[in-house]
Amino acid sequence: MAVVAFVVFLLLYLTPGDPAAILAGDAATSQDIANIREALGLNAPFHVRFGEWVWRLLHGDLGISIFTKLPVTQLIGQRVGPTLSLTVCTLVFSVLVAVPLGVVAAARAGSWIDRFVMGFSVGGFSLPVFVLAYMLIYLFSIELEWLPVQGYRPMSEGLWEWARHLVLPTLALGTVYIALIARMTRAAMLDVLAQDYVRTAQAKGLAPSAVLVRHALKNAAVPIVTVIGIGVGLLIGGAIVTETVFALPGVGRLTVDAILRRDYPVIQGVVLMFSAAYVLVNLAVDLSYMFFDPRVRY
C-alpha cells in the first residue's frame, strides 16, 4: 500500500495537464490560473505535497475534491454501492459458471465439450469488455428490448429493477473472468486426475461425480482459488470500463471523471481504495489455503 501510494502520487505529479487551468475555464488569464494553483498548493515542491498528503492519509483523510469541494471519502461512499453490486454479482456468477465448466472440460478431455470450453476461454479472454458490452446492448436492449440499455437502480427500489440493470454489465464483465477461471480449473483438474489416489478411488468403484468433487476438485482448489484472487485485479479494471459503457454511477465512473478533470485527490483516493480491496482479497485467499490443503499452516 505504501508503494502504491508513492507511485500513484508520483505519476500524477509527472502527468501533463493542469487542474487549475481546467478549473479556471477557457476565459481565465495566466494570473487567474497562477492564483488558483497557489490556493490549491500546486506550486509546492514534490516532497512537501507528498508529505502533507501522507500525513492526512495517516489520519484517515483522503483529501478534498478540487472540483466538488467535497471530501473524497464522501464521494467514494456515494458511489460504492453500484460498484460493489457489480463486482459481487460478477464474482459469484463467474465462479458458479466457470468452475463447473472447467471440471466438465477436464473430465471429458479431448471431447467436443472440452474443445468448446477451451474455445470459449480463448475467445472470452481475447474479446475486449467494451466490445462485448455493446454487442449485448444491441441484442438484448435494442433488438429484443428485454433489458435496459444503461442506468442503475438501487436495491431499495426493488430487487427486480436492481437485477435487471445489472444483468448486462455482469455478463459483459463476467465473460473475461469466466474464461480465466475455467481455463485454470481445467488445467488444475487435469493435473489432479492423473494422480495415483484418483485412480485408486476410481478402482474402488466410487461414483464418477464423487471422484470429481470429493477427490479431484478438493485437491485442485488451491490453484483455482489463487487465480480467483488474482483475477480480482482484472475485475476491478474491467469494472471501470463497464461502468462507463452502461452509465453506472459507481466508483469506476467517478475515476474516469476525476482523470478527465485532473482531480488529483479523488484519483489518489480511489486508487488506494481499489488497492486495499485487492490486497485484502488476496490475503483472504492466502488464508483460505488452510481449509483446502491441511498441509498449509501459518
3-state SS, 242-254, equals HHHHCCCCCHHHH
Helix (H, G, I), strand (E, B) or coil at 239: helix
Q: Where are the domains of the chain?
A: 2-58, 76-292
Block mean pLDDT (10 aa), the chain, length 298: 84 73 67 71 78 84 83 89 90 91 86 88 84 90 86 85 90 89 88 80 76 78 86 82 88 86 85 87 85 70
Q: Are 105 and 179 in contact (CB under 8 A)?
A: no
Q: Which CATH architecture has domain 76-292?
A: Orthogonal Bundle (1.10)
- Helix, strand, coil percentages (3-state) for the chain, rounded to 5, are 80, 0, 20
Indicate the residue type of 88. Answer: V
Q: Are 40 and 24 in contact (CB under 8 A)?
A: no
Give 156-210 pLDDT, tens digit per residue.
Answer: 888 888 988 899 999 998 888 898 899 888 888 888 888 777 778 778 777 777 7
Residue 190 CB partners (closer than 8 Å, separation 6+): 106, 109
Question: What are the grid coordinates assigned to 96, written together?
Answer: 458458479
Q: Give 27's strand partners.
A: none
Rounded CA gap, 65 and 83, in Å? 20
Q: Are 255 and 8 in contact (CB under 8 A)?
A: no
